Structure 1
Amino acid sequence: MRLSSYHPWVLLTTTRDAMAAPRPLLLLTRPQASSEAFWAALPRQIHDHVDFLINPLMSIHFTGPLPEMRGVAGLIFTSANALDAYAALGGTALDIPAIAVGTGTGKALRAFGFKADIAGGTADQVVEHVLRHGYSGPLLHLRGENAIGDIAKRLTDAGVETSEAVLYTQELETFAQDTREALSQDRPILAPVFSPRTARQLGRESLGFDNFRFAAISQAVADALPADAAHRTKVSRRPDRDGMIELVREMVTDAVSLERRL
Structure 2
Amino acid sequence: MQPDLSGVRGVIFTSANAVGFAPLGQGRAAFCVGERTQAAAEKRGWKVKKVSATAGDLLADLDMALIEGPVMHLAGRHLRMDIVSALRSRGVMATCATVYDQKLLPLSDEAQSAMAGTAPVIAPLFSPRSASHFVEQAGDLARVHAVVISPAVAAVLPEGACASIQVAQQPTGLEMRRSVEKLLADCRLA
Give the shorter-chain TM-score range: 0.7 to 0.9
2:114 corresponds in structure 1 to 182
C-alpha change, 1:163 and 1:220, in structure 2 (3 Å) is same
Residue 20 (structure 2) pairs with residue 84 (structure 1):
yes
Give 1:162's aligned amino acid: A
CA distance in 1, matches of 2:19, 2:69: 20
CA distance in 2, matches of 1:135, 1:245: 34
Residue 146 (structure 2) pairs with residue 214 (structure 1):
yes
SS of residue in 1 equivalent to 2:48: strand
Residue 52 (structure 2) pairs with residue 128 (structure 1):
no
C-alpha change, 1:188 and 1:205, in structure 2 (3 Å) is same
C-alpha change, 1:196 and 1:67, in structure 2 (3 Å) is same
1:194 corresponds in structure 2 to 126
Contact 1:184-1:209 at 8 Å conserved across structures: no
1:218-237 to 2 correspondence within 5 Å?
Answer: 218-229=150-161, 232-237=164-169
SS of residue in 1 equivalent to 2:20: helix
Question: Any gaps of 5 or more consecutive residues in structure 2?
Answer: none
C-alpha change, 1:117 and 1:240, in structure 2 (3 Å) is farther
Deviation at 1:98, TM superposition (A): 1.5
Deviation at 1:176, TM superposition (A): 2.9
CA distance in 2, matches of 1:115, 1:99: 9
CA-to-partner distance for each residue in 1:199-244, whole Å, 9 max, x for gaps? 1001111212432111111111110122234661111121222332
2:176 corresponds in structure 1 to 244
Contact 1:200-1:226 at 8 Å conserved across structures: no
Greater displacement, 207-216 / 154-163 = 207-216
SS of residue in 1 equivalent to 2:63: helix
Contact 1:72-1:140 at 8 Å conserved across structures: yes
CA distance in 2, matches of 1:117, 1:183: 44
CA distance in 1, matches of 2:182, 2:92: 40
CA distance in 1, matches of 2:57, 2:117: 40
* Matched pairs, number: 190
Contact 1:77-1:99 at 8 Å conserved across structures: yes
Question: Any gaps of 5 or more consecutive residues in structure 1?
Answer: 1-64
CA distance in 2, matches of 1:127, 1:158: 10
Structure with more contact order per residue of length (Cα contacts < 8 Å, sep ≥ 6):
1
Give 2:15's aligned amino acid: S
